[in-house]
Structure 1
Amino acid sequence: MSIDIDTSFTHFTRTAERAANQVIAAYSTSFGLATRILGPRHRQHVRNIYALVRVADELVDGVTAEAGLSHQQQNDALDHFIDETHRALRIGYSSDLIIHAFAQTARVAGIDESLIDPFFASMRTDLGERTGTRAVPLRFDAEAHQGYVYGSAEVVGLMCLRVFMRGENVDDGDASALRYGASRLGAAFQNINFLRDLSDDTARLGRNYLGMADHLEDRDRLEWVKTIRAQLDDANSVIPLLPRDARAAVRSALALFAALTRRIEKTNIDQLYRSRVRVPDAFKAGLAARAVAATWLEHR
């Protein structure tokens, strides 16, 4: 009995999407909540983006090392992941379920190497260098920080923006404002996570994304809070330019990270080096509900 090729491909793609959804469920309740209030035409595409980004991030953040791979083998694993992603974009198929799901989204939304390659460059940075058997600690000055954040986070915001804006007609001014807002939101999210993850990044991974010193001071924390608030404000100002079925989810995510920023502002640096700042699930749900209500009340 023959099986229709299109039916087989569709079934495989849906299976890949379910795998992407499982990645989100396993790694981020916050992101999962935000995607649930996205419009149906965006929801799976954004989940597909997140899954690829998450798997790549885990590859360079210790999974391969804990599996016993040497530093060279970790680089080889990343090379394979990158090559397979590029191949899937060209041909529209991968036997890797997460890459296959991402490729479907990328081809629909016009996500290309101009966004994908900077992301993988930042992931490569995380693998770092070694002197003999010892890893060289990663320290980021202002220029290195900006480049890393662009690749690891801003381009992810721009990928999501391409999903949201496919088929939309906007003038050049609004399009430029939206790209700026998406970049600023991605940067804010990443900088907040750097502050939240100080303990793990420094103790386990030997990285300081927020400066050249081994240990930040409280004045550094407050300067980063100031920077993050400016980034969030810039992102918030362009939300009304988004399609209506994307606004509530973006508002919800922004509100969550604004809440995290307020908590970080009240937490001294030594505490941040000991524990990760969190927002209770019930509070997250309230933020999401308010974001939905605010969007519903808008005129367009």
Structure 2
Amino acid sequence: MSTPPQAPTATLTAGYEWCRSLHASYGRSYYLATRLLPAWKRPHVHALYGFARYADEIVDSFALTGDRAAALDRLVSRLAAALDGDRARDPVLSAFTHTVRAFEIDQDDVRAFLASMRADLTVHRYATYDDLLGYMEGSAAAIGTMMLPVLEALPGEEERAHEPARQLGLAFQLTNFIRDVREDLTRGRVYLPLSDLDKFRVREADLAAPYASAAVRELVACECDRARDHYRRARDGIALLAPSSQPCIRAAYELYGGILNEIEAAGHDVLARRATVPRRRRVAIFARHLLAARAAVRAERRVEVA
């Protein structure tokens, strides 16, 4: 992947459109689910995703010239200025900071995310799962909790909805780590805990093979079980969201969980091919939740202001 191209200073509307295009290009499953949200919520979800992808590409892209740490420093500096009220020239930051202010998103979550992005510049292995969870606290759990104000918890359920939002972020990212073992290795990174590799007697060289050995399959099965546990911890939180947000998150839950299904169906071989949910299955999941999404939006429109 290459770093998204810079655009000149643009209107806020153009900034949100820029984020939407990033989301559509890089986050197919979640982007599809986002189409089930009320129209007014979608741009804000796109802004959060677009910012996360933008920062991630700075630390991941092979095409970026110059010092990646310096590039990340510039992003952090521009973001701080924009959050302090300066006009953001970057369209992604324009939309992101507008969303952060509009929903009073916790800036500690923003800082935690950026700290994990900075870790990617120097930390390429994690000794234990607890160590990996420390990284994912910023790179995944914080994204889940940043999304929560946009998705809206039911009145009085904000506190209870917080932990399931964290867990869903962890579930989604661990699913990506399991699926993308080969791709991450080409970047010099191994996100599966080294203690697990040792437990199943897997060498890093085994992760570069064209097919997964029996030991690698056992390792992947273990990580899939961990991901399933995060999904279980997140599941009950969906009912704590506004009804108009629930179809979107249920669909995303099924789409990402479907990646694990594909991995399991392939005998936990994530090296022979990249696991993806077939398009027909993705469309079926979207269609199944579409009527509920439309009904929820209609119901919210009928609510009378007391």
TM-score by length of 2: 0.82
Q: Structure 1 residues 112, 176: CA separation in 2 closer, same or farther (over 3 Å shift)?
A: closer
1:67 aligns with 2:64: yes
1:144-191 CA distance string (max 9 Å, x none): 2011111111111111101122xx6632xx323211110110000000
1:284 aligns with 2:269: no
Deviation larger for 286-295 or 147-156 = 286-295
CA drift at 1:292: 3.2
In structure 2, give the amino acid aligned to 1:283: R
Aligned mates of 1:265, 1:92 — CA distance in 2: 49
1:199 aligns with 2:197: no
1:208 aligns with 2:195: no
1:42-95 CA distance string (max 9 Å, x none): 111000001000111111112xx42332xxx11000011111112211216300
1:228-275 CA distance string (max 9 Å, x none): 222212222121110011111101100111211111123345x31242
Aligned mates of 1:211, 1:112 — CA distance in 2: 29
Deviation larger for 193-202 or 21-30 = 21-30
Q: How large is the RMSD of aligned CA atoms in angstroms?
A: 2.2
In structure 2, give the amino acid aligned to 1:35: T
Q: Which residue of 1 aligns with 2:105?
A: 111
Partner-residue secondary structure (3-state), 2:120? helix
Contact 1:248 1:292 in 2 (8 A): yes
Aligned mates of 1:228, 1:295 — CA distance in 2: 27
Aligned mates of 2:280, 2:176 — CA distance in 1: 20
Q: Structure 1 residues 24, 222: CA separation in 2 closer, same or farther (over 3 Å shift)?
A: same
Contact 2:88 2:94 in 1 (8 A): yes
Match of 2:146 among 137, 153, 159: 159
Aligned mates of 1:294, 1:261 — CA distance in 2: 25
Aligned mates of 2:225, 2:25 — CA distance in 1: 32
Q: Which residue of 2 aligns with 1:179?
A: 162
Q: Which residue of 2 aligns with 1:143?
A: 130
Q: Which residue of 1 aligns with 2:20?
A: 21
In structure 1, give the amino acid aligned to 2:180: D
Aligned mates of 1:67, 1:57 — CA distance in 2: 12
Aligned mates of 1:77, 1:68 — CA distance in 2: 9
Determine which structure has the larger helix proportion and give its number. 1
Partner-residue secondary structure (3-state), 1:276? coil
CA drift at 1:211: 1.1
Q: Structure 1 residues 230, 264: CA separation in 2 closer, same or farther (over 3 Å shift)?
A: same
1:99 aligns with 2:93: yes
- Runs of 5+ unmatched residues, structure 2: 1-8, 198-203, 208-214, 301-306
Contact 2:29 2:256 in 1 (8 A): no
Contact 2:181 2:271 in 1 (8 A): yes
In structure 2, give the amino acid aligned to 1:241: L
Q: Structure 1 residues 93, 245: CA separation in 2 closer, same or farther (over 3 Å shift)?
A: farther
Aligned mates of 1:276, 1:100 — CA distance in 2: 34
TM-score by length of 1: 0.84
Paired residues, what number?
Answer: 273
- Runs of 5+ unmatched residues, structure 1: 1-8, 130-136
CA drift at 1:293: 4.1
1:2-33 CA distance string (max 9 Å, x none): xxxxxxx9x71111111111112222222221
In structure 2, give the amino acid aligned to 1:292: L
Contact 2:178 2:224 in 1 (8 A): no
CA drift at 1:296: 6.6
Aligned mates of 1:210, 1:248 — CA distance in 2: 31
Q: Structure 1 residues 229, 67: CA separation in 2 closer, same or farther (over 3 Å shift)?
A: closer
CA drift at 1:294: 5.1
